[in-house]
A and B are shown apart, each in its own frame.
Chain A
Amino acid sequence: EVQLVESGGGLVQPGGSLRLSCAASGFTFSSYSMTWVRQAPGKGLEWVSVISDSTDVTLYADSVKGRFTISRDNSKNTLYLQMNSLRAEDTAVYYCARKMRYGNYPVDYWGQGTLVTVSS
C-alpha cells in the first residue's frame, strides 16, 4: 500500500524557515517524480514544486521560486521542502504527492498534509 506521511509543519514567524519531510513507503520511491501541493485555509489547491526521480530536474511555482527548495533522499525514501523567508501568504496545508509516471501525468497518491502557519 502506497503511503506518504508528511511532517515538520508548525507555527513560524514571518521571515523564518521550516523544513517539511515526506516519508514514502509501499512503492519504489526512487522511480517516481514527487510533488508538493499546498492549500491555504478555505482556498483551492496550488501546485508548488516537483522533483524528478533522479533529482536532475526541479521546478517551482513563481510564488515560491528563490525561497523554497525541493530535494529528496532516495536512500531514505524521503522527500523534503526547505522553506525560507516565509510569508503570511505561505500559510497552508502542504501535501506531498506522487506523480503517476514520467511525462504529462498528474499525481495519484497524496499524503494527509501538514499545516504550516506563518504568523507573528
Chain B
Amino acid sequence: DIQLTQSPSFLSASIGDRVTITCRASQGIGSYLAWYQQKPGKAPKLLIYPASTLQSGVPSRFSGSGSGTQFTLTISSLQPEDFATYYCQQVDSYPRTFGQGTKVEIK
C-alpha cells in the first residue's frame, strides 16, 4: 500500500498568513493526488485534483503543486473560513490511502 505522510500535523496561523502543507508519498504516484478540506461535523470537500488543478468554485488563494512523491498545498492568504483540517489522498492505486491530516487553527 502507498503511505502518505503529511506535515505538519498541526499548524497555528493568523489571518492573511501564507500556509504550506506537504504530502509525501512512499512511492511515485505521478500527479494522482487530491486535496480535501474538512470542517468539524462536515463531509470533506474536494479542493484540488490532479495535484495542481483547482476544482470549480474553489478560491484562487488555494494552489497545489508537485508530482512523483512530493506535493504541497498552499493557501496564499489565510481567511477565517479556511480554518479546517486538510487531507491529501492518492488515487494512483488501491487501496486509496489518505494522509493523516493537517489541522489549521487560528493563532
Contacts and interface: CB of A to CB of B under 8 A. Distances in A.
Interface in B32-59: 32, 34, 36, 38, 42-46, 49, 55
Interface residues of B, number: 24
A113 B39 CA distance: 13
B98 A45 contact: yes
Contacts of B1: 62
B91 A59 contact: no
A112 B39 CA distance: 12
A89 interface: no
Main SS class of interface, B: loop
A44 B101 contact: yes
A47 B43 contact: no
A106 B94 contact: no
Chain A interface bracket (under 10, 10 to 19, 20 to 34, 35 or more) = 20 to 34
B44 A45 contact: yes
A110 B91 contact: no
B95 interface: yes
Nearest to B1: A62
B98 A108 contact: no
Contact of B55 (A35, A104, A108, A110): A108
Q: Which of B32, B38, B87, B96 has the most CB of A within 10 A?
A: B96
Contacts of A11: none
A98 to B, nearest CB: 10
A95 B38 CA distance: 13
B96 A50 contact: yes
A111 B43 CA distance: 7
Interface of B: 1, 32, 34, 36, 38, 42-46, 49, 55, 87, 89, 91-92, 94-101
Interface of A: 35, 44-47, 50, 59, 61-62, 95, 97, 100, 104-108, 110-113
Given A62-B1, A104-B91, A112-B42, 18 more contacts: A44-B87, A44-B100, A45-B38, A46-B98, A47-B89, A47-B95, A47-B96, A50-B96, A59-B95, A61-B95, A105-B49, A105-B91, A106-B34, A106-B49, A106-B96, A108-B55, A110-B45, A112-B43
